[in-house]
Amino acid sequence: MIAVYPGSFDPVTNGHIDIIQRAAKLTDTLYVAVLTNPSKKPFFTVEERISLLEKVTEDIPNVKIEPFSGLLIDYAEKIGAKIIFRGLRAVSDYEYELQMALANKKLKGDTETLFMVANSKYSFLSSSLVKEIATFGGDLTGMVPDFVISEVEAKIKRR
């Protein structure tokens, strides 16, 4: 079975990594699809986000990292994925996730969205929180891998 785990991953966090590891165990091939969105100014370029994801998943042979643009459901069809994995951290995620899952179902009825409950160790974590903490010099230990901390700090210094 082919599945897709889509997101912005700006940057990848330990919460994302936890979902990738668990979803990869349930699938033959898991595509981690990184949104290329020219209308939104990301912190890391899509190439940088992909490179970070490739490094954190290098030991998981059935994970492929790819960029995507346009509709997720069209990308899922292109790669033959019938499952979309999404992570659920709290009730606050649910409304947005439900809307997206129902819209994707309406667009293409044979693709299912599966929600994976966040690991309680990481359920407070988001990429936005990581960027905010880093911007004000806070400690990111345990929130993202150590090499990602270095990349975030280097990016902030270059700004």
Q: Which residues bind ligand COD (CB under 6 A)?
A: 6-9, 13, 15-16, 19, 35, 71-72, 86-87, 89, 93, 100, 103-104, 118, 122-123, 125-127
Q: How far apart are CA 103 and CA 4, in angstroms?
A: 16
- Residue 80 sits at φ, ψ, to 5 deg, of 80, 25
Nearer of residues 124 and 147 to ligand COD, judged by Cβ: 124
Confirm or deny that 54 is annotated as ligand binding: no
Confirm or deny that 71 is annotated as ligand binding: no
The least distance separating ligand COD from the CB of residue 147, rounded to whole angstroms, comes to 18
Q: Which of 40, 157, 158, 159 is catalytic?
A: 40
Tokens 């990738």 sit on residue? 20
Q: Which of 49, 78, 106, 127 is catalytic?
A: 127
Three-point CA angle 104, 105, 109, nearest 5°: 130
82 noted as active-site residue: no
**CA dihedral sign of residues 90, 51, 57, 84:** positive
The least distance separating ligand COD from the CB of residue 154, rounded to whole angstroms, comes to 21
Segment holding 91, helix H or strand E: helix 91-107
Query: Residue 146 corresponds to which tokens in the numbers above?
Result: 């150590």
Nearer of residues 110 and 157 to ligand COD, judged by Cβ: 110
Confirm or deny that 126 is annotated as ligand binding: yes
Query: Residue 66 corresponds to which tokens in the numbers above?
Result: 């790819």
16 noted as active-site residue: yes
Nearer of residues 40 and 159 to ligand COD, judged by Cβ: 40
Are 67 and 50 in contact, with CB atoms under 8 Å apart?
yes
131 noted as active-site residue: no
The least distance separating ligand COD from the CB of residue 136, rounded to whole angstroms, comes to 20
40 noted as active-site residue: yes
